């Protein structure tokens, strides 16, 4: 497309289609393309799985588990390194970063690279999910469509939300969950301006998914027992357990990821460690193979024995015949090592998300809790507990109870279990909030002070950057200058603070006009004192890359009104004043809050 034709197209749009109508139209196409991407990714994964399991593994499944997962993450790592040449992991975190920094720009290659990378990873058995990559794909589609039509950053942010909602709706057949996910996890504001495009995108993607794959839910239920009020205490216990397991999931995965990132630098060593770890774990625990959705279907339909097949640890039916507690131990072990398998997959170079792992672990947690309660003499439905356990763990890991409730209801068609879904999701969320204020997605950004959350009155500070509030009109002085020379500088300055620097520009201290006012009119003292004798240390020193929230904390702790800013080598850059921050803060808050 030539530039002249493109410019004419933009001009025609501006004359004939209002921005409001354009947003609604684009939200439809974003949903359409997100659903197409979700369908393409599912098809790609299933083709690879049929190839690997049908042609390579066959009936002798066990020993091939030592090979195929490592092949998948190796292919994905090579694809990312030599073709994409960019980091495409942690898709949801990348979206949060794009939103929180108000750039709302996602690279064009994310519209396809995550589909191929995650398809290779999961198709060969990587122990991660396809949902986060497809959400990043949908968000990238929305961002780049908005950029193509030269829409502003605020509208681009809305299009990112439409892409995410469409991706969830398309891959899960869950339109309500798509909308709620965008509001809860991506932390977008719900206004009359935003709700219509989000709904259009989510419903469009779901409708396309229905047409491609049928109307059946993703995890159809064979049968479930109706909710009974006398089981509420046991659902409360399940919710608390899900919250604690979510805490283990969040902190354990974060620490393992940091270890893989910082301790192992060489790509080939990462592939060796990750591939070997993943293959051995899948060999011992075959349910870790791939997304684990087959295991979920088995547990929510009462087939726990089917979930234990092909493992050398179960020895056929030996566990089933000899000890129910050994069965529980087997599934508890899977819960413990699942995060290791997922980090080994992504850390070695694979591409995938934590949607599927959280659903997988939630189903197993629900089954284990129910089995323990039943062995203790109670009578609770293991299928129901496995189902609501998925909602509990997703609510805890993502800090998104509404997403957990609606997603599981739509995934399974278990709308009659809304009460236990709500109980378990809320208790899980409240439990993890006692220990961890951020979800795994947001944790990385929160640690850097780059996360924008619902609490705009406080965290809109993350939208401010140091260079936007830095004041550089302060006259610098040198330690060897005499009081007489200082008086000459003061006479031409409009500020009452003077940064003291050396010949290399390093900050040595500050000199306040109030400190020399009583002697500056005594000429006899002009040669007696030097700036070095009169200067003082500032209450605190700010660094240029310091998050604005930390800057405000420093102002509050010191009670200062002006503080100097230096770079990494302590070279003076300027001053920041509290009044300048407040003025910029009000401007950004008003602009950001406009509909």
Instruction: Please say whether the dihedral angle defined by the alpha carbons of residues 319, 322, 324 and 326, taken in this order, is positive or negative.
Output: negative
Look-up: residue for tokens 């949908």?
A: 138
Q: Residue 129 has what DSSP assignment?
A: B
Q: Is domain 3-213 classified as CATH 1.10.3080.10?
A: yes
Look-up: residue for tokens 């015949």?
A: 321
Residues in the chain: 595
Question: Is there a common fold for 3-213 and 229-449?
Answer: yes
Q: Residue 507 has what DSSP assignment?
A: E
Q: How far apart are CA 570 and CA 565, in angstroms?
A: 8
Helices (H) and strands (E) in the chain, counts: 27, 5
User: What is the residue extent of each domain of the chain?
Assistant: 3-213, 229-449, 458-593
Q: How far apart are CA 125 and CA 292, in angstroms?
A: 9
Q: How far apart are CA 389 and CA 290, in angstroms?
A: 20
The CATH architecture to which 229-449 belongs is Orthogonal Bundle (1.10)
**pLDDT at site 549:** 75
**pLDDT at site 467:** 78
**pLDDT at site 304:** 81
Look-up: residue for tokens 């986060």?
A: 132
Tens-of-pLDDT digits for all 595 residues of the chain?
Answer: 456 777 788 888 878 888 888 999 999 999 999 999 999 999 999 999 888 877 666 555 567 778 888 999 999 999 999 999 888 877 787 787 777 665 678 889 999 999 999 999 999 989 999 888 999 999 999 999 998 888 887 888 889 999 999 999 999 999 999 999 988 888 766 666 778 999 999 999 999 999 998 888 888 887 778 888 999 999 999 999 999 999 999 999 989 988 888 788 888 999 999 999 999 999 889 899 989 899 999 999 888 877 777 777 766 554 554 578 888 989 999 999 999 999 999 988 899 988 899 999 999 999 999 999 999 988 899 999 999 999 999 999 999 999 999 999 999 888 888 999 999 999 999 999 999 887 887 776 655 555 554 445 455 555 567 877 888 889 999 999 998 999 989 888 888 899 999 999 999 999 988 888 888 888 888 888 899 998 988 989 999 888 777 888 888 888 888 999 999 888 999 999 887 777 766 665 555 444 4
Q: Angle at Cα 35 formed by Cα 32 and Cα 38, nearest 5°?
A: 150
CATH top class, domain 458-593: alpha beta
DSSP 49-76: HHIIIIIIITT-HHHHTTTHHHHHHHHH
DSSP 321-348: HH-HHHHHHHHHHHHHHHHHHHHHHHHT
Other Cβ atoms less than 10 A from the Cβ of 460: the count is 22
Rounded to two decimals, what is the model's pTM? 0.77
Q: Where are the alpha helices (DSSP H) in 51-150?
A: 61-64, 68-79, 91-100, 113-123, 131-148
- Who contacts 322 (Cβ-Cβ below 8 Å, separation ≥6)? none
Q: How far apart are CA 441 and CA 462, in angstroms?
A: 17
């Amino acid at each position: 497309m030539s530039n002249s034709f493109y410019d004419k197209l933009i001009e025609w749009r501006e004359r004939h289609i209002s921005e409001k109508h354009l947003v609604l139209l684009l939200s439809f196409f974003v949903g359409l393309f997100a659903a197409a991407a979700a369908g393409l990714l599912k098809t790609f994964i299933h083709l690879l799985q049929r190839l690997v399991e049908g042609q390579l593994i066959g009936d002798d499944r066990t020993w091939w588990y030592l090979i195929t997962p490592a092949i998948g993450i190796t292919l994905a790592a090579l694809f990312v390194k030599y073709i994409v040449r960019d980091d495409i992991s942690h898709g949801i975190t990348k979206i949060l970063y794009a939103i929180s920094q108000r750039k709302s720009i996602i690279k064009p290659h994310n519209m396809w690279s995550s589909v191929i990378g995650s398809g290779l990873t999961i198709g060969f058995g990587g122990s991660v999910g396809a949902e986060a990559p497809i959400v990043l794909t949908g968000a990238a589609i929305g961002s780049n469509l908005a950029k193509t039509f030269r829409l502003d950053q605020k509208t681009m942010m809305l299009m990112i939300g439409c892409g995410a909602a469409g991706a969830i709706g398309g891959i899960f057949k869950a339109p309500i969950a798509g909308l709620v996910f965008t509001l809860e996890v991506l932390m977008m504001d719900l206004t009359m301006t935003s709700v219509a495009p989000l709904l259009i995108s989510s419903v469009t993607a779901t409708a396309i998914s229905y047409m491609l794959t049928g109307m059946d839910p993703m995890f159809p239920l064979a049968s479930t027992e109706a909710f009974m009020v006398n089981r509420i205490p046991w659902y409360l216990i399940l919710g608390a357990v899900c919250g604690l397991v979510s805490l283990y999931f969040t902190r354990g995965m974060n620490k393992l990821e940091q270890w893989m990132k910082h301790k192992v630098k060489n790509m080939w060593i990462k592939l060796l460690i990750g591939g070997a770890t993943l293959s051995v774990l899948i060999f011992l625990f075959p349910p870790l193979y791939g997304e684990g959705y087959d295991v979920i279907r088995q547990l929510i339909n009462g087939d726990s024995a089917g979930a234990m097949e092909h493992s050398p640890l179960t020895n056929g039916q030996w566990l089933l015949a000899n000890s129910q507690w050994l069965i529980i131990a087997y599934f508890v072990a899977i819960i413990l090592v699942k995060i290791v398998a997922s980090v080994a997959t992504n850390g070695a170079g694979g591409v995938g998300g934590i949607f599927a792992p959280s659903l997988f672990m939630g189903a197993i947690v629900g089954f284990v809790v129910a089995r323990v309660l039943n062995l203790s003499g109670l009578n609770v439905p293991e299928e129901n507990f496995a189902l609501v356990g998925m909602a509990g763990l997703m609510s805890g890991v993502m800090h998104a109870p509404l997403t957990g409730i609606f997603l599981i209801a739509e995934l399974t068609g278990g709308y009659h279990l809304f009460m236990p879904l709500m109980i378990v999701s809320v208790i899980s969320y409240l439990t993890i909030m006692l220990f961890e204020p951020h979800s795994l997605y947001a944790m990385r950004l929160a640690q850097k002070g780059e996360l924008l959350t619902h609490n705009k009155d406080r965290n809109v500070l993350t939208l401010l950057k140091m260079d936007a509030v830095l004041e550089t009109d302060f006259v610098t002085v040198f330690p060897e200058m005499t009081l007489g020379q200082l008086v000459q500088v003061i006479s031409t300055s409009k500020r009452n603070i003077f940064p003291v620097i050396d010949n290399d520009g390093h900050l040595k201290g500050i000199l306040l006009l109030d400190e020399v006012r009583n002697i500056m009119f005594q000429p006899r003292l002009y040669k007696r004192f030097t700036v070095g004798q009169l200067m003082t240390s500032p209450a605190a020193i700010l660094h240029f890359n310091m998050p604005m929230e930390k800057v405000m904390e420093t102002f509050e702790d010191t009670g200062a009104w002006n503080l100097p800013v230096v770079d990494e080598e302590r070279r003076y850059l300027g001053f920041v004043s509290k009044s300048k921050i407040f003025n910029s803060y009000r401007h950004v808050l008003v602009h950001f809050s406009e509909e």
